[in-house]
């Protein structure tokens, strides 16, 4: 496995699934930009930490990240993955349902000097929230 793919894999395992702040600090570049941040919201590294630590982790007990595919082209790694867990706490504006839920994600990360410097991504969180609201 290439170094860039391993960095992305570590980020998913240690930061997203594990909540490891020291790994986050090690893997995020100082000038990181989230190109998929919602319009008008912060796009720096702390916005990514906030998403994982203050939105997903409290809502999804037993949070796991399953990487299905990774493709590397130049300095970018594209990853198709699924984030899952038991919905035990509020997820944005949706109260806990107790159901096992999954969010499918495709993201592209540009890695420079062993660290994340840019991120683009799409995910099925809006569809998941809509289905939970209807349940």
Domain ranges, residue 55: 3-134
Q: How high is the mean pLDDT in each 10-residue block of the chain (135 residues)? A: 96 97 97 92 92 94 98 98 98 96 98 97 96 89
Domain count across the chain: 1
CATH of the domain at 24: 3.10.450.50
- Is the whole-model pTM more than 0.85? yes
Instruction: Give the pLDDT confidence score for residue 126 in this predicted structure.
Output: 95
Under 8 Å between Cβ of 19 and 11: no
By CB neighbour count within 10 A (0-12 exposed, 13-18 middle, 19+ buried), where does 36 fall?
Answer: middle
Read off the tokens for 107.
């993201």
Neighbours of 83 (CB within 10 A): 23
By CB neighbour count within 10 A (0-12 exposed, 13-18 middle, 19+ buried), where does 119 fall?
Answer: buried
């Amino acid at each position: 496995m290439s170094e860039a793919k391993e960095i992305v894999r570590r980020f998913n395992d240690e930061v997203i699934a594990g909540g490891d702040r020291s790994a986050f600090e090690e893997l995020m570049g100082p000038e990181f930009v989230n190109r998929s941040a919602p319009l008008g919201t912060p796009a720096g590294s702390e916005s990514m930490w906030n998403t994982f630590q203050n939105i997903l982790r409290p809502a999804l007990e037993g949070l796991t990240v399953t990487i299905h595919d990774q493709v590397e082209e130049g300095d970018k790694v594209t990853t198709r993955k699924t984030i899952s867990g038991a919905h035990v706490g509020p997820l944005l504006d949706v109260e806990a349902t107790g159901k096992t839920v999954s969010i499918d994600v495709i993201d592209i990360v540009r890695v420079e000097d062993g660290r994340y410097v840019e991120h683009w991504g799409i995910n099925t969180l809006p569809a998941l929230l809509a289905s939970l609201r209807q349940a």
